Structure 1
Amino acid sequence: MVSWRKRRQAVFQEIFKTLPEAVGTAFGRVNLLGEHTDYNQGYVLPTPLPYSTTVEAARAEGVVEAYSENLRELRARPLDEGPQGDFLDYLAGVVWALRQAGYPVGGARFYVKSTLPMGAGLSSSAALEVAALKALRSLYRLEVDDKTLALLAQKAEVEYVGVHCGVMDQMVAALGELGQALFLDTRTLEYALLPLPTGTRVLVLDPGIPRRLAEAGYNQRRKECEEAARLLRVAALRDVTDLCLVESLPEPLNRRARHVVSENGRVLQGVEALKRNDKEAFGRLMYLSHRSLSQDFEVSLPELDLLVEKAREAGALGAKLTGAGFGGAVVALVPEGIPFQEALSRLYPGVRVLG
């Protein structure tokens, strides 16, 4: 019987006329608490999902070439070409970021396979970047630790692809462990792994609403946060702890800042709840987070608001949108042993439950 690896090698050779020399894998993630705080130098609390992207790679000279098994698409471009608005941007971007940092990478051929649902807010782009960087690290025998690898992935997405993301997605893809929440201080990059509450499951509720970050307001929200920080005379909204201060800001900057400041507080409270194994308290914080994302940060949609409420009715301890919003999915903390999926399917037909 032919092994999975042998089959992959045969397909790789058929497409690229050479065998793969290295492989890298990275998980997707959901963010339990700490939405839109990472680019404000705040705190985040994501956890990896058992869905991943795997990238096989071989050396090439002067070119980045990639085949996506999911898209059934082959693309290539010279190293000196800029982004083209396709999936190859993320792979060309990490090669570009390594070369910008002085690493001797001459190019690469990639074969990409992912079990991550695209467009659901589960950080498929960061998983792709980190998996490719792990493959390149092995391929070119680069001395790059996981934290540096995450920063290179972020640089690729911000400076090459053009999405001004924070570092959370790349950090959890590089450092996260299944069954653990990653508490990350995005200013200092100090982090800690904390067990998820016992007797619970983290589920992703995907209503099938696609999103495009660069086109849907993500960059605008970032600009609003930067302007709020400038008016408050702080380096970043992370430095504001008194909610009364944000009320002096004009609309909508006051509400944008209120979300970030209160969300940082919810992350810190969530860490303490995890340490106590207090799943009820943690769930309440998730609901408060979603309300803030919907009302103050205005990145939710009526469909997501309804899904959060139906998840509560179906028995979830907590639920909120995950990712940048403007579509995507909801993450729910659910007690083990209850017929949650069946109840939710009756309340919100057509939703896909992952986890």
Structure 2
Amino acid sequence: MPEVTASAPGRVNLLGEHTDYQGGFVLPTAIPQRATVGLGRNGSSTHVLYSANLEKTLRVAVGEVGTEFAPYLTGCLQLSGVTEGLNIHISSEVPSGGLSSSAALEVATLRALRELYGLELDDVALALRGVQVEHEFVGVKCGVMDQLASSLANTRTLLLVDTRSLERRAVPFPAGAEVLVMDSGVPRRLAESGYNERRTQVEEAARLLGVRELRDVTDISVVETLPSPLKERARHVISENARVLEGLEADAAQFGQLMNATHASLRDDYAVSHPLVDDLVALLQAQPDVFGARITGAGFGGAVVALVREGTAAAVGTAVLADYGTLGKVVVP
């Protein structure tokens, strides 16, 4: 049996996509599904990592990174100074693709390590260590939203985060609405997708505009001076920050329209959608009880999120799947 067990939730982001690595604003919430990690000392110089979902065991020498799912765990171990072999059992209810399954795994692992070794890590520092794992061990130059949401968010409210200052506050859901998340059935791998390329592009756009980050641009028309595709990438980030701030005062119908605009921007300017995802989003947007819908997460496949009339999520999901076919499945009614 493990010496300690810890868990952390996945997240779904309603507004503020691809802004967190440019100092922007994000508005995620936690989902009920969680990743769970049990760990304990095994008295050897080898970590034994078991994934219940994959029914697979990996053995990695202490100080090594390993392959497959190992880097998400061994990165946490190395950054936490673990020098002895551990048995680690992981299981997760968080679907992969847009719902921060990797962040949930990292945060759960770091929570377990904090308990086992008495690490002095508050919830923000723990999240930032998870981001460091992604950068240094997984190879994804992600922003801070996913790990912060997994570490700090709950399922009852939205979490507004200023990703530059890390200031945050709880924001109520629009009245009369609830969230529906659906799996498009389109798999994606961030490190093998255009995610890192997009980050490089917006960093170059900020440099050409003479600002620290695109967060600092107050006049969106200045992006017209940039060459393509930097112009389109920057336009998405700047307009998306504005949508988050507008969403704070929006009712359900207005909030839904902002989500629709975000999807169009992610599809056309940031080019991180997928034809099947676009089909699923269009089917959702056509439902009378749907206020708005969009791709969520880094993109290139994965999940979509819809804001729907309260009490209708299950019915909307069932109706949309009848048209979408057997590729997708409802994952968070």
TM-score, structure 2 normalization: 0.95
Alignment CA distance shift 1:238-1:105 (3 Å): farther
Partner in structure 1 of residue 325 of structure 2: 349
Q: How does 1:325-340 map to 2 (within 5 A)?
A: 325-338=299-312, 339-340=315-316
Tell me by how many angstroms 1:63 deviates.
3.4
What SS is found at the alignment partner of 2:63? coil
Alignment CA distance shift 1:229-1:83 (3 Å): farther
1:141 aligned partner, one-letter code: G
Q: Provide the C-alpha distance between the structure 1 equivalents of 2:128 and 2:84, rounded to a whole number of angstroms.
A: 20
Tell me by how many angstroms 1:117 deviates.
1.4
Larger deviation, residues 257-266 vs 201-210: 201-210
Q: How does 1:155-170 map to 2 (within 5 A)?
A: 155-170=132-147
1:77 to 47, 60, 70: 60
1:283 counterpart = 2:259: no
2:296 to 319, 322, 338: 322
Q: Provide the C-alpha distance between the structure 2 equivalents of 1:66 and 1:221, rounded to a whole number of angstroms.
A: 32
Partner in structure 2 of residue 90 of structure 1: 72
Q: Which runs of 4+ in 1 moved over 3 A?
A: 60-63, 104-107
Tell me by how many angstroms 1:107 deviates.
4.5
1:228 counterpart = 2:201: no
1:28 to 2, 6, 10: 10
2:239 to 262, 272, 275: 262
Partner in structure 2 of residue 66 of structure 1: 49
Tell me by how many angstroms 1:259 deviates.
0.1
2:266 aligned partner, one-letter code: L
What's the % identity of the aligned pairs?
Answer: 51
Q: Provide the C-alpha distance between the structure 1 equivalents of 2:88 and 2:293, rounded to a whole number of angstroms.
A: 37
1:45 to 7, 27, 40: 27
Tell me by how many angstroms 1:59 deviates.
2.3
1:111 to 89, 96, 100: 89
Contact 1:21–1:56 (Cα < 8 Å) also in 2: yes
TM-score, structure 1 normalization: 0.89
2:167 aligned partner, one-letter code: E
Between the two proteins, the alignment pairs up a number of residues equal to 327
Q: Provide the C-alpha distance between the structure 1 equivalents of 2:136 and 2:85, rounded to a whole number of angstroms.
A: 19
Tell me by how many angstroms 1:162 deviates.
0.9
Gapped regions of structure 2 (runs ≥ 5): none
Contact 1:97–1:153 (Cα < 8 Å) also in 2: no
Q: Provide the C-alpha distance between the structure 1 equivalents of 2:218 and 2:48, rounded to a whole number of angstroms.
A: 47
